[in-house]
Structures are given as C-alpha cells and as structure tokens.
C-alpha cells in the first residue's frame, strides 16, 4: 500500500470524526428527548346535546376562552433565563404546563412567545439569543402536546427592556420570554 494513500485515509477519517464532534458540540441544551406526560382526551361527544332556538343542534363541544381561563392570570406570563442561556428552568414548569393545558383545550387559540435579553452584547447576538429563548419555550410547549402552529416564537433581543437600569437586578428582569395571546 502506498504511504500517501494511507495518510489520505487517515486524514479523511480524522475529518469525519472532527465533523461529528463539531455537530455534537452545537447541540441544544434544551432537553429534547425528555418524556413528558400528555393528557389524552376523547373527541366523541358524551351525553345529549341541547337544541338551539332555531332548531339547529348546538355544538357538543364548548369553546374555551383563554381570557376567561387565562393561564397567565394564575401562573404569570414571563419566563426568566440565566445570563447567556436559553434553557427553560424547572421553576417555570407550572407556567408552561398551564399554557399547554389551555392551548390543548382550544386548538384554535394561538400565542406569541417574545424572547428578550439584557443590553449586554451586540444587537445581532441578542436577537439570536432572544430567538433561541422563545424557541425553547415553543419546544417545551410542543413536548406537552401543543401544536407547533399554535405558538409563534419571535425575538426582540435587547430592544424592549422592562427595566432600563444598568445593574444585575435590571438585567435579570430583562432576560425573559413573554407569553402573549394572539
């Protein structure tokens, strides 16, 4: 076997290993393989329906109004993040589960998840980080059974701070994702 051929094979296999390691290093810290409980509901009507005054049968399925059963009223609307991170922390699980339950109850309802950052870093970096934060919340919702088209991720980066002060307390408030009804 020619020595140059052996070196080429070694270099090619080394490049393949390096590419695999590079892809593994880019993996998301969001727990994508985590098993989450999903509530299964029957879509068949139970009991007899009420007739309407016009003689047409009324729908067996009642509509759910998120303004009446707003999960934000009970759980809040803001998820806070650590510095330079986009992992949804366990302390915000009740908020995510509350929204998932409400969205699963009414598949026509949609929300927008707005990703925000503090003002440290470039505009481009913060827009990308805000997007990763909003997408992490969408991923958490979809793992709980929410349809991906019900939750729209957007990023405002550092453009819309809730506290413009230049200190750690203000920065901590600004590192957030806000859930809003559409």
Q: Domain for residue 72, yes or no?
A: yes
- Count the domains in the chain: 1
Q: Which residues contact 177 (CB under 8 A, 6 or more apart)?
A: 78, 79, 81, 113, 114, 115, 116, 133, 134, 136, 137
Q: Domain for residue 159, yes or no?
A: yes
Q: How far apart (Å, rounded) are the C-alpha atoms in residues 118 and 128?
A: 13
Q: Determine the average pLDDT of the residues in 13-22.
A: 54
Q: Domain for residue 148, yes or no?
A: yes
Q: Domain for residue 129, yes or no?
A: yes
Written as six digits, the tokens of 143 are: 């793992």
Strand-pairing partners, residue 76, are none
Structural domain for 136, as ranges: 67-182
Q: Determine the average pLDDT of the residues in 143-166.
A: 96
Q: Is a pLDDT exceeding 90 seen at residue 5?
A: no
Q: Domain for residue 23, yes or no?
A: no
The CATH number that applies at residue 166 is 3.30.1330.60
What pLDDT, in 10s, does the model give residues 48-105? 444 444 444 444 444 444 444 555 555 479 999 999 999 999 999 999 999 999 999 9
Q: Is a pLDDT exceeding 90 seen at residue 28?
A: no
pLDDT score recorded for residue 27: 46
């Amino acid at each position: 076997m020619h020595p140059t051929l052996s070196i080429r094979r070694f270099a090619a296999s080394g490049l393949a290993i390096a590419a695999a390691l590079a892809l593994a290093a880019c993996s998301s810290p969001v727990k994508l393989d985590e098993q989450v409980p999903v509530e299964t509901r029957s879509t068949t009507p139970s009991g007899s329906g009420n007739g309407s005054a016009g003689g047409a049968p009324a729908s067996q399925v009642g509509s759910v109004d998120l303004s009446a059963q707003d999960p934000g009223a009970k759980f809040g609307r803001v998820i806070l993040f650590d510095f330079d991170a986009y992992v949804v922390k366990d302390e915000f699980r009740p908020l995510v589960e509350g929204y998932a339950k409400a969205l699963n109850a009414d598949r026509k309802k949609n929300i927008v998840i707005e990703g925000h950052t503090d003002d440290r870093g470039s505009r481009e970096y913060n827009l990308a980080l805000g997007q990763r934060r909003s997408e992490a919340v969408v991923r958490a919702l979809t793992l709980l059974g929410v349809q991906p088209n019900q939750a729209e991720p957007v990023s405002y980066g550092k453009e819309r701070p809730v506290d413009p002060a230049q200190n750690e307390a203000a920065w901590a408030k600004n590192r957030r994702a806000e859930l809003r009804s559409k």
